[in-house]
Amino acid sequence: MPNSPTLKDLLASTKHSAVHLEMRDGYMESDPSFLAWKEGKRHLPEDNDPEQRPWLRWVREATDRGVAIRRARVFSVPESDYIRFEHHVSDANVRAGEQIGWLSRRRATDIAFPGNDFWVFDNELVVILHFTGDGESPDDWMELSTEPAVRDLCVSAFEAVWERAVPHAEYRPG
């Protein structure tokens, strides 16, 4: 989508809050970091380095401004390799200031979800994230919406998950 803001831009302009709901069991499994993790390479410098993982820098900049960043993950059990990898690299996200919660899909049956992962910035702008069937991100992967019904569904789903989610520090994949 030409001239669309990036996640970096959106986070930089956020004033109060950013919430993110992830509902897939795998993303971008072609990611070199994931492939290295699958080969047993743990605690690589790039896992924790804000220069190599710019997201960590953006989170720190936002949280230093007082922005609350919360991410919730809904996942299947037993966990996929990708979910175990996400748990491993999420330690750095938490150190950067992001709050992360984990909710097994079995505990989410009665929650109404939108059809896609999303971000909600300052309870106003929804960024809907589209992925291919194998979890890769197509060129047009981000869709922006200020539609009240979409926003309300996303906020409601996120808060319902967050209320039940296990904090990152307490969750250990099986």
Separation between Cα atoms, residue 92 and residue 45, nearest integer Å: 11
Whether residue 71 lies inside any domain: the answer is: yes
Whether residue 11 lies inside any domain: the answer is: yes
Whether residue 2 lies inside any domain: the answer is: no
Whether residue 1 lies inside any domain: the answer is: no
Number of structural domains the chain divides into: 1
- What b/e sequence results for 96-129 when a residue is b if at least 16 CB atoms lie within 10 Å of its CB, and e otherwise? bbbbbbbbbeeebeebebbebbbbbbeeebbbbb
| pLDDT tens digits, 88-137 | 999 999 999 999 999 999 999 999 999 999 999 999 999 999 999 988 89
Whether residue 36 lies inside any domain: the answer is: yes
The answer to whether the predicted template modeling score (pTM) of the entire model surpasses 0.75 is yes
Q: Note the pLDDT of residue 53.
A: 84
Question: What is the CATH number for 80?
Answer: 3.30.870.10
Q: Give Cα 70 to chain centroid, integer Å.
A: 8
Residue 41, Cβ neighbours under 10 Å: how many? 11
Of 43-47, 61-65, 110-114, 138-142, give the lowest mean pLDDT range.
43-47
How much is the average pLDDT of 18-36? 93
* Residue 109 belongs to domain spanning: 7-170
